Structure 1
Amino acid sequence: MSLLAESPVARLPVTELNIGYYAHHHGAGHVTRALAIAAAFDGPLTLFGSRLPERVALPNVQLCPLPPDVAAGVEGEAFACLHYAPLGVAGLRERMGLLVDWFRRAWPCLLVVDVSVEVALLARLCGVPTIYLRQRGSRFDAAHELAYASASRLLAPYPDCLEEPGTPAAWRAKTCYAGSLSRYAGQGPDRGREPGTITVIAGHGGTAFSRARLVAAARACPAWHWTVLGPVLEDAIEAPANLTFLGSVADPAPWLTRAELVVGSAGDSLVAELADLRCRFLCLPDARPFDEQLSTGRLLAAQDLAITCESWPADEDWPGLLARARELDPERWAAVSDGEGARRAAACIRQVAHEVLA
């Protein structure tokens, strides 16, 4: 795969560089990661997205909500070099227009893209440099190649020991490996683990964690107490006494640090939080484009960071899986998280902005 040659940039006398950050709306992890980086960033940052919180506590962050890029009855047409290019969607025109308006007002500026091939290419076609967030999985298609090639730098929210096998050397050389990025950086567990307790995290981006499956798992392991956080579709199945559903919570840290084991999917945000909090992890990857979570789960298992099941376990398999997860050494997470990931990412953004604009 070839990379586009770096082209010269018109260099201006810069007194302040404006940084934008586009956070994708699928799941909660992109915005969570953006805010972790923003907290370590030493200047103003404009956060774009269509799933932003109403407000944030960070004084350097300005929120710019974008309208949804979908419309009823409109299919998302794709091409070799574009993942999503529907026709006639008003929200798509509006969101792209808002981004272009900001490019004009904020110049000289740089856009961090987490993630969207189309947004990255829009910025580049407007002469705005980008830093593109990398994700795991089989992202060797023409669209990703173009986004990576057009970016001034690539940023990986994981260490190089969890790099995707087969990644081209040119992409590796262009990548800043920040390590894990989470809101719990440097915290670690602040209390002893309670033996026989499990915290289950059901994600917001679509999940296989149904009430029926969790009820069956809890019944298969009556000696364990299970607490489920996150959205799980309600039904009439009665939960056993050792299973509690708490729904979505703003901060799962108290449950993550107290539990002996955590069961969850392989989303980047959750994996980063478990790394920072040094949790023993039973990983059940959810289906995602480009096999992103499946790849993550395999890499974690290969590094003895998690016990990974590529499909939902049979009821009779749960006791053995929990016993294996109990034997994991949580200090192995130190290779993934040293508490400095957000600082490294923020430093990368500032360095690239000065290199290409100052």
Structure 2
Amino acid sequence: MKKIQGIHNDRGYTELRIWLGPKRNPDGSVNRPYRRIFGAYTLPNILRAKEHMDQVRRDFKAGKMPKPEPKPILFTQAADIFYHRHFELRQRSHKSKRNARSLLNNLKTYWPTRCLDSFKPIDIEQYREAMTKDRTGSNGRTKKGLGLGTINHHQSILSSLFERMDEYVKREEIDPVRLPEFNPCLYVAQPSTEHLKRERVASREELKNVHRWASLHDPEMLEAVKRAILSGLRKEDMRRMQGETRIRTLTGKTKRLVALPLDWSKAVNLSNWQKRWEALRENCDMQDFHWHDWRHTGATMLKELGVAEEIIQEILAHSNIQQTRAYINRKEERLRPAIEALKRELDVIMPSVTAA
């Protein structure tokens, strides 16, 4: 085949190297040639290089400069770009930034030398398997693997990283980099975590047991429990509102405004919190109860009192009503009327037969 000017055999690879404009700029600086590699030095790649060269020259004459060739990028570099643009440059809470930084640092430690364009779905599957297994630490102790909800969150962040990097390149916010042909996280199934969602609510009997024990042994803990149920505030927000005559604060998690007609001018002693809370749970036989469940309890009691869902949503500072319904609508309670109606109808048609 006749040699084409601008296309060369560079150590077995098809190299396109052409000058666009003069070799020296008017200010005296040296202009670099446009360069691109098209794989092995074969006829199909030479024809591809020739077609691309003609297109670049046409664009240059029309005033369009060619885009630089995408360069490989390490996963660690992509993670830094993603964190800077997606978290640091946006209005994120300190807690959100801290959690994202910790998660991305774990991912960078797992893939310290991997290029971003080399990721496949099997890599994500291997990561999930490795992180969910129990492993022995350097001190000889067994470290428990990540839970299902946590590893799903890791995969979601990874998926977001691949999508955002693609957007940054398309919007020309960063230099072109090599990316996977597709988002590998989209081809790895995430098991459902519906069965892990808590629906624990304190019963009336449990509330009486808490009052009976705490009034004798820890009255201030009893007051803290009442405040948690009344306000629906999380523990960290309750600590910040100690001594206030009127509840008016931005929640630490969602930064939504909470304004409630409660007087907390008398501060409650919250020192040695964990030990006191464990003692209350143990003595009231509520070992499976979390402090956050008081928030669920208060919302459920409001619903039973006939309070509108929109009011409960405002008290809990939820961004949408679906979050609130997850707090107040336990499946058993929702299904109970329908099941009981069906049972009554079935008893009429098919009465129970008692053994003689």
Q: Please indicate the TM-score interval, normalised by the length of the shorter structure.
A: under 0.3
Normalised by the size of structure 2, how large is the TM-score?
Answer: 0.25
| Higher CA-based Rg | 2
More helix per residue: 2
